[in-house]
Amino acid sequence: MTSRQDLNTGTREVPAAARFDERRLSRWLAARIEGFAGPVTVRQFRGGQSNPTYLLEARSGRYVLRRKPPGRLLKSAHAVDREFRIISALYEAGFPVPKPYALCEDPDVVGTMFFVMEFVAGRIFWELDMPGVDPGERGLVYDDVNRTIARLHEFDYEALGLADYGKPGNYFARQISRWTKQYRASETRQIEAMEALIRWLPENIPEDRSSSIVHGDFRLDNLVIDAHEPRVIAVLDWELSTIGHPLADFTYHLLPWQMPEIGIGSIGLLGKDLDALGIPSADEYCRRYCERTGRDGIPDRDFYTAFNLFRLAGILQGIAGRVRDGTASSAHARQAEASVAPLAELGRTFMERA
């Protein structure tokens, strides 16, 4: 059986429907990136992304292009201009993100809005147990991942010029409303567990009103790890980032410790021998995060988990809707629809525990 690592590593020929004029792109790049030297050749990354992502190879080096997908899209989705803005601010602050080069809002260049950033060479682990890595190094990688998300949540976003990047306060109410609407827009069948979550979540939001930059999809396969050291050198895929609640972001990141394998990605950590793997338990991982962010603990974890499972189900339903509409960019996107109901059922379990 082909591993998820093998399925998602490397690049492939650009599918016919996603191709664009490489010469026109090369001219655009030469006018905006200092030192750029064409011609440019284009390959598409295999890894599943909501926004199609391409490797550009030119005489001057390698670059990455990330674009909106073509076709009919949900409102507010695929905002590559927001991604460019957040990585630009974080790059200037010394946070590990690729260097941003240029944003293009003119759809005539490649067909949709896009931005170009540096290519960061390193390791991307598509499996959470990091096969082939020594347990000692595995533990150090997880600790640096923990340090990285804690550091993100500690930034003064106003000082970074991001005061208007999102609306502080009422984060959960707005997110529940947003994902309910997007779920309805993409709905392909009625799922009672989703209906239960849609009714329950708005009435049970915790009192904590913290706000920070949130990534929105902070997981191991969205990180580039140094080729030789257990260190995060780039955080990728900022499409869902905003000003939001740090505990929503962190507890989403915790989901692999709580989820069985349901066919949506890397096999979770639930039921694994974490001690033998060198991976911290969920409680230990939470403790380290709280130490780094000055928290006494994370009350209401069951609410946050139910919310994140609902949100993830909504995201996957959006992908299922794009399969229906013919605009999904990942070869594995059809798995998404089958995963919505199991996620909603698990979310209802945490809802009942809360």
- CATH number, domain of 34, equals 3.30.200.20
In terms of residue numbers, what domain contains 45? 4-118
Domain count, the chain: 2
Residue 223 pLDDT level (bands cut at 50, 70, 90):
very high
CB atoms under 10 Å from CB of 214, counted, come to 26
What is the model's pLDDT at position 13? Answer: 84
Residue 10 pLDDT level (bands cut at 50, 70, 90):
confident
Q: What is the largest CA-CA distance in the chain?
A: 59
What is the model's pLDDT at position 263? Answer: 60
- 220 and 104, same domain (yes or no): no
What is the model's pLDDT at position 77? Answer: 55
Whether 346 maps to a domain, the answer reads yes
- CATH number, domain of 316, equals 3.90.1200.10
- 148 and 111, same domain (yes or no): no
Whether 48 maps to a domain, the answer reads yes
Digit-coded pLDDT (tens) for 204-222:
999 988 999 999 999 999 9
Please check whether residue 220 is in contact with residue 145, taking contact to mean a CB–CB distance below 8 angstroms: yes
Whether 111 maps to a domain, the answer reads yes
**CB-based burial label for 164 (10 Å; 0-12, 13-18, 19+):** exposed
- 90 and 232, same domain (yes or no): no
Whether 308 maps to a domain, the answer reads yes
Residue 199 has pLDDT above 70, yes or no: yes
Residue 180 has pLDDT above 90, yes or no: yes
Residue 264 pLDDT level (bands cut at 50, 70, 90):
low
Supply φ then ψ for residue 44, to 5 degrees. Answer: -100, 135
- 194 and 229, same domain (yes or no): yes
- 282 and 254, same domain (yes or no): yes
Whether 293 maps to a domain, the answer reads yes
Residue 262 pLDDT level (bands cut at 50, 70, 90):
low
- 109 and 154, same domain (yes or no): no
Residue 330 has pLDDT above 70, yes or no: no
What CA–CA distance (Å, rounded) separates 49 from 233? 20
Digit-coded pLDDT (tens) for 144-176:
999 999 999 999 999 999 999 998 788 999 999
Supply φ then ψ for residue 316, to 5 degrees. Answer: -70, -35
How open is the CA angle 278-48-317, to the nearest 5 degrees? 105
Residue 125 has pLDDT above 60, yes or no: yes
Supply φ then ψ for residue 225, to 5 degrees. Answer: -100, 140
Whether 306 maps to a domain, the answer reads yes
- 81 and 144, same domain (yes or no): no
Whether 127 maps to a domain, the answer reads no
- 108 and 167, same domain (yes or no): no
**CB-based burial label for 13 (10 Å; 0-12, 13-18, 19+):** exposed
- 110 and 199, same domain (yes or no): no
The secondary structure of the chain, three-state, reads CCCHHHHHCCEECCCHHHCCCHHHHHHHHHHHCCCCCCCEEEEEECCCCCCCEEEEEECCEEEEEEECCCCCCCCCCCCHHHHHHHHHHHHHCCCCCCCEEEEECCCCCCCCCEEEEECCCCECCCCCCCCCCCHHHHHHHHHHHHHHHHHHHHCCCCCCCCCCCCCCCCHHHHHHHHHHHHHHHHCCCCCHHHHHHHHHHHHCCCCCCCCEEECCCCCHHHEEECCCCCCEEEECCCCCCEEECHHHHHHHHCHHHCCCCCCCCCCCCCCCCHHHHCCCCHHHHHHHHHHHHCCCCCCCHHHHHHHHHHHHHHHHHHHHHHHHHCCCCCCCCCHHHHHHHHHHHHHHHHHHHC
Residue 250 has pLDDT above 80, yes or no: yes
- Please say which residue of 91, 118, 145 terminates a domain: 118
Distances (CA, A) of 296 to 97, 170, 235, 263, 288: 29, 22, 27, 35, 11
Distances (CA, A) of 317 to 28, 120, 178, 229: 36, 31, 13, 37
- Please say which residue of 83, 118, 153 terminates a domain: 118
pTM: 0.89
- 92 and 230, same domain (yes or no): no
What is the model's pLDDT at position 4? Answer: 66
- 304 and 235, same domain (yes or no): yes
Digit-coded pLDDT (tens) for 272-326:
899 999 999 999 999 999 999 999 999 999 999 999 999 999 988 887 666 666 5
- 89 and 147, same domain (yes or no): no
Whether 129 maps to a domain, the answer reads no
What is the model's pLDDT at position 259? Answer: 83
What is the model's pLDDT at position 339? Answer: 84
